[in-house]
Structure formats: C-alpha cells, structure tokens
Copies of this chain bind each other. A is one copy, B any other.
Amino acid sequence: MRAEIISIGDEITSGQRVDTNSAWLSQRLGEFGVPVAFHTTVADHLPDNVQAFRLACERADIVIATGGLGPTADDLTRQAVAEMAGVDLVQDEGALEHIRALFARRKREMPASNLVQALFPRGSRVVPNPHGSAPGIDLTLPRAGRESARLFCLPGVPAEMQEMWQATVAPAVVAMLGKPRVIHHYRVKCFGVGESDLEAMLPDLIRRGRTPTVGITVSKATITLRITAEGESVEIARQSMQPTIDVIHQCLGDLVFGYEEEELQHAVVKQLQQRGQTLAVVEWGTAGLIEHWLGECADCAQVFQGGLVLRDAAGISILSSMAAEMASMLGLHAEPTLSVVAQAARERFGSDYALVIGPFPPAVHMSAEPGSVVLAVAGPGGVATRAVPFTGHPDILKPRAAKQALNLLRLAIAGK
C-alpha cells in the first residue's frame, strides 16, 4: 500500500507560497508505515486537476489532497473529483447546516457563494471541519481487478487540515491498515570528511533493499545518515536499527557528532555543560556566525562567556597588546598570532576554552592556489592551531569554516 499527496493552488505552482502540508501529511503517513511515492502540485485549472486525481488514484492506494475547497470560483476540487469519478454533485444537508451555523456564530450572513461548500460528489462521505466552512471529502474509488483507492480531500489551511487529519482521516487510515505498522526515521550526524569518502567507510550500508535503509545526504559540509526501519511500534522499529547504528559508530568513530536535529554547536555546548566548562569565541572570517549559532542553543547561557567579532588587526588591542604587536609583526594570518589571541581571549573572558577563527583570505580565481583559514583553540591543555583550505561555493565558505572550527573544538574538548 502506498500513498500520494496532491496540493492544489496557483499560489503554490507559481512559487508564491511554499507547500508545507505535503511534508506534514507525508510524515504522518510514514508514522503509520505508509510510504508516500509522489507529491503532485497542480494549479487551479480543471482539466489538470481531473488528470492529477485520476493518475494518483491509479498509482497510489491512499490519496490525500489539500486545497481547492473554498467558496470562490477558483476552488475546483469538488468539481474535479466528481468529474474524475464520473458522478454528479449533490447537496449534503448536514454540511449545509454546519456552514449556516458557523456564519450565525460569527454573526455574519452566509454569502450565497458558500452554498457550494455543501456540495459533495455522489457516494462520498463528509469529513467534518469543526472550525472552518470547508468540509472535506472522503471517496472510495473502485478500480478494475484490484482493491479500491481511497481519496481524502482536505482544506489547505494547515490548522484545519491537521485537525481533520487527526479526527477523521488518521483513524480511517489505521482501519484500512489492519495490523498497525510504523515507519521510524533516525538521523546520525557526521562531520569531517566528504560524502563519498564517508560512504566508502560504511561498506554495504547505503545499499538499496537493505533493512533498515540507510540514506546519505550532505548540507553545508554536515553529512546526515538517515536510518529508516518499519515495525509494529516506534520502539520496535528503533530497536531493529540499533545494530546499524552500532556499525555506523564502529566505522566512523569521532566523525559522528550527534543525532536528529543536533548541529556541531549543540554537540559542543553539551560537552562543555557536562564538564561544567565555559567558552569564549573570537571571529574574523566567520563574522559572528559561531556566536550567533551558540546564542541560538537552548543551554548556551551556561557555557558561553562571550566573544568578539573583529574586522582587522585594529580591534585586537581590546583583547591584548601583545597579540596586537604580533599581528603587526607577523600578520593576522600567522598561526602564532592567532595562538596568542586564543590565549588572551581565554584569559580576558575567564573561560576554560577560547576558539579563534582567523580572517578569510581574499577570494581567488578557480585556477589559482586556494588560501587557508587559521583556526585556534586554547584550553586547559594548551593551544592548538590548524590551517584549513579555503575553497568551494561562496555560500558554503562561512558555515564550513565555522563548522571546522567547532569540530576542532569538539575534538579538543574530547581530548582527541
């Protein structure tokens, strides 16, 4: 059994609004163990709507549509479903009564246009919408030689759609499934090598047909391994992926820094919190990005002592006159200068660790030798510096350098 989600509206096909309903419904279906094979978005155009409904009811067993149930001329879902199913539209007295009552409660007269919201394809059931004037449609569509398809049409307003899913559609889907089955996802987050290299370290895991499935995606140098397993409950599905998680840890070791929504800054804040230690940050190239990321962490106040964002060597004297002198002699790109900056920051902010990200080299042409960024970590055990290459898409340069710095700190705190 597989599903398809249809979302309807010019505002989505034209890109004026990003569709979030389809992702939400896909997650809910996934939790019941129903894989979603397609999302289709279609404009407010009747023949295209009819085609989209017809195709979805052929290739999927459960179809959930959102949008097109309003009272205006561009709301075509009722009509498209009736045409697709080859039936006419009939008025539902209960639905009409509900819409009338809704307007009465808001002390407004019901416009005549709202009458169409009480029309339903013959043979369909009403999905009640307690808080809105657009009831949904629940239609079973016979298919030659196989099980019927089941189509649910819900309004596009997320709050109403979600309420109707919970109250009516979810129980109907569960009843269709017989024995309950859930699909559970769990993400392992890694940093420090490229996507292909990491895949090569995981023999046989990213293989189609393997159970549980392991998918690999990369976003701004953070690699996510997404494990997917099915089971009778979340707990059982989670248990069945434990051996896979163990293999990932064995193969990747320190490359794994966290799970699910965690980023490197959360990993570092957690480490410091557990040790009762604190951090100061001095940023040139990353221009405040790390301090902003730390500021967004829930428990940041306990570990973050403060930091500086600097533009050139001028501001350095705020921290230390010796660092300023070294900067004028050796330059800001020199590892010894940034080593002294890290020690000074640790002292001035009274923190256990200080992390320093040096200035970015000037952008160079693709063919030229790329420059490097110097990172420094001062801690109870001394200072470590590291120069990392500065190359790649402009959008990735700042977040990647920030992550490289946080990763250096993470390994330093762990004593690696």
List A residues at the B interface (Cβ < 8 Å): 10-20, 22-28, 30, 35-45, 48, 51-52, 55, 59, 70-74, 105-108, 111, 113-114, 130-132, 159-160, 163, 183, 185, 194-197, 199-200, 206-208, 215-217, 226, 228, 281, 286-289, 291-292, 294-296, 300-301, 304-311, 314-315, 318-319, 348-350, 366, 370, 389, 391-396, 398
Contact = CB atoms under 8 A, between A and B. Distances in A.
Contacts of A196: 71-72, 111, 113-114
A78 to B, nearest CB: 16
Given A15-B23, A30-B15, A295-B287, A52 B72 contact: no
A15 B389 CA distance: 35
Most buried by B among A48, A183, A311, A398: A311
Contacts of A51: 59
Given A39-B39, A306-B308, A26 B14 contact: yes
Secondary structure at chain A's binding surface: helix, strand, loop or mixed? Answer: mixed
Nearest to A314: B350
A395 B159 CA distance: 7
Given A199-B113, A288-B295, A13 B42 contact: no
Given A26-B14, A206-B72, A38 B36 contact: no
B311 A305 contact: yes
A27 B18 CA distance: 11
A20 B199 CA distance: 26
B22 A16 contact: no
Contacts of A289: 292, 295
Nearest to A345: B318
A48 B42 contact: no
Nearest to A26: B15
Contacts of A208: 73-74
A13 B197 CA distance: 27
A42 B26 CA distance: 12
A67 to B, nearest CB: 10
A310 B306 contact: yes
B14 A30 contact: yes
Contacts of A183: 14
A11 B185 CA distance: 10
Given A287-B295, A308-B306, A18 B23 contact: yes
A17 B12 contact: no
A195 to B, nearest CB: 7
A200 B113 contact: yes
Contact of A318 (B107, B349, B389): B349
